[in-house]
A and B are shown apart, each in its own frame.
Chain A
């Protein structure tokens, strides 16, 4: 199948990792997702990046604020279903006009098999935008590194929350017939 999981061969996780290093990211926090597996692995293997495993995504919002208050840039990795957990906590970023960089792997869109993923997946971009987050939705792998870098610049130079949504089309969906 052409449209099955690509994660074993994809280059974009390593490219994003390099982009995060170029953007001087010192802390990464995450709730795991299959789409982020390789990027998380790369961060864990780098002893100059402090990694924090979260129990729920909104912790990562508060963590990002704390890190920046202490002079360190961070990024938050999650799956789209976790965005709903973040809404109220995003208010602390808005009210303090602080930077936030979120990298969100999408479910509930391109080729989704699990109907339970659809409600949050289809609402992810709208929910973030309603909470005041600048959103970039990437559907083509080649555009990811540049988009993540641009997102990091707008986040940390203009003190704003920014999310890059990594489309399910990029990640590849699970073919349940196999």
Chain B
């Protein structure tokens, strides 16, 4: 098992920093904490918030990235959510979308169910698994400086890109975005497709 390193990054600071540069990027968030993080960083019509379908965030991003090859797609999700859809790393590695980046906000916990430990605190290295699946760029981030150097990879490096960011378990207030699935999808589709959203 890997030696324990000290984790200092705060999830809200990390997510706010990442989305600050968002421009026209499309963001899919995985159920639970990353959906709250994205809401806390500022609601946006180009955010698609998942409140369910655990394990489906990365592949939702894949379907979107393939449908919109001219747009950058970033999936922000948690370690527990990613682990539940771990096979999707192989699916994305083979599909090899150049415009897709997966960013795991990894607190090594199931945050919505009582902060039980996930596998990532017990030696499972998600970035190594993504590398093994054929992702073009993978890394694990532990420091503020490394967050800065990872951001251009999330936005620009030819994908698929996988960045796992280790964050601490400090308390953050709950910030909830809209939760009506039909409203979220209609707003997102209108932002992406314009009038064609209602064909």
Q: Which residues of A contact B (CB under 8 A)?
A: 26-27, 50, 52-56, 58-72, 74, 88-89, 91-92, 95-98
Contacts and interface: CB of A to CB of B under 8 A. Distances in A.
A92 B67 contact: no
11 contacts: A50-B66, A52-B91, A53-B91, A55-B88, A62-B60, A62-B63, A66-B62, A70-B65, A71-B67, A71-B197, A96-B185
B176 to A, nearest CB: 16
A64 B63 CA distance: 6
B55 A58 contact: yes
A93 to B, nearest CB: 9
Contacts of B87: 54-56, 59
Interface size class of B (residues with CB under 8 A): 35 or more
Interface string B57-76: 10111111111100100000
Given A62-B53, A62-B59, A89-B53, A67 B94 contact: no
Contacts, number: 121
B181 interface: yes
Interface of B: 28, 48, 50-57, 59-68, 71, 85, 87-88, 90-91, 94-95, 181-182, 184-185, 188-189, 192-193, 196-197
